[in-house]
Amino acid sequence: MDKLIRNSSNTPVLLKVCVLLLLLISSPAEARRVHVCFGIEDHFYDLGELKASDQQVKKTGMPAEWASDGYLFGIHLQDHCLLVPTKTDVVGYAVYAKNSSQYWVLDETTIQSLQKSGVLPNPMPPLQVPWDDTVGGQWLWGLAILAGLVVIVALEAFLSGKLQRRVVAKVDKVLHGSFVLLLREVLVDVARIDRNFDANKLHAILAIMQRLGIAVNDLAKLNPEDMPAGKLSRKLLIAYIKAVAGNLNDQQRNILLTGIATVMSVEGKVGRNKKAVFRQYIIALGFPDNQAEKIMEMVLNA
């Protein structure tokens, strides 16, 4: 019951991976690549802005709106979809409106006419698109993202585990894996929140430890004038508790919570600063953030 070991949970890693994935797929640049679709979808690979004057429109018989801003020429592509894109066909050249589904397919005769009038370049750019604008490229892109996520998960797990091992090793030099010594350090930390470690708090700590069967001789070392027990910072204690929380049983969690509440309540009302510290310890013990306030009030009012 008394020995503590490191908890190897990787829940924070999975949460970070989910956030990263959401950021990736919510990027406007990747919006077309990550989607569900059925049938045939049209899209275009931009080659340039269409610049046509009113005179050129009249001369070539082009649609009048082509003389306006907001029209592009490019390569017309069609995705064949069955829940996800499965194939991309290169249809040909087209003129299309920005942010609209309106487009005009350009046949060879129309292209030559527009080239003669200087509306389209001569020669035309190759009827080719980058690999990442095809379905094959999209699948490769998806595999690259998946591989990146795997690497991130592995790296995060490695660094998180390494940090936990360092914290546990450092704290265990003081606590030697003992729950009783951990409890003592936590209660001393709580007693020092307002920098007023008086006799009343000392007696409260002694009473808690005595109930656990700790020898009075060992407790006598808890002198408020010279506290050898207070060897660990709150930051280190909380990090350590997070690392071993999965291996604490319900009885140990209850002892920690009631002990903290007892020491905090010695002077009467528990203020905002003390509650903030209490909340940190509750969350470190593995309780959900949204239940911390409820648990704290329940223990303080018990």
DSSP category for residue 162: H
Do 88 and 135 contact (CB within 8 A), yes or no? yes
pLDDT tens digits, one per residue of 180-225? 888 888 888 888 888 777 888 888 888 888 887 765 555 555 544 4
Q: In the chain, what is the greatest distance between 2 CA atoms, to the nearest angstrom? A: 106
Complete domains list, the chain, with CATH? 35-129 (no CATH), 159-300 (1.10.3680)
Which amino acid type is present at position 187? L
Percent residues over pLDDT 90 in the chain: 9
Q: How far is CA 263 from CA 189, 198, 200, 237, 270, in A?
A: 10, 11, 9, 17, 10
Q: What pLDDT is attached to residue 3?
A: 43
What is the value of pTM for the model shown?
0.46
Q: What pLDDT is attached to residue 81?
A: 78
User: Rounded to an integer, what distance in angstroms lies between the CA atom of residue 195 and that of residue 291?
Assistant: 28
Q: How far is CA 295 from CA 96, 205, 299, 301, in A?
A: 61, 21, 6, 10
pLDDT(93) > 90:
yes
Do 84 and 37 contact (CB within 8 A), yes or no? yes
Radius of gyration of the chain, Cα coordinates, nearest whole angstrom: 34
User: Rounded to an integer, what distance in angstroms lies between the CA atom of residue 41 and that of residue 83?
Assistant: 12
pLDDT tens digits, one per residue of 227-274? 444 567 888 888 888 888 877 888 888 999 999 999 988 888 888 888
151-164 mean pLDDT: 63
Q: How many CA atoms lie within 13 A of 75 on its CB side?
A: 16
Phi, psi values for residue 214, rounded to 5°: -80, 140
Q: How many CA atoms lie within 13 A of 178 on its CB side?
A: 10
CA triple 36-39-42, angle to 5 deg: 85
User: Rounded to an integer, what distance in angstroms lies between the CA atom of residue 296 and that of residue 302?
Assistant: 10
* Residues pairing with 39 in the sheet: 81
Do 172 and 244 contact (CB within 8 A), yes or no? no
- Sheet holding 37-49: strands in order across? 37-49, 71-97, 103-106
Q: What pLDDT is attached to residue 245?
A: 80
pLDDT tens digits, one per residue of 24-57? 444 444 444 556 677 888 888 888 888 888 888 7
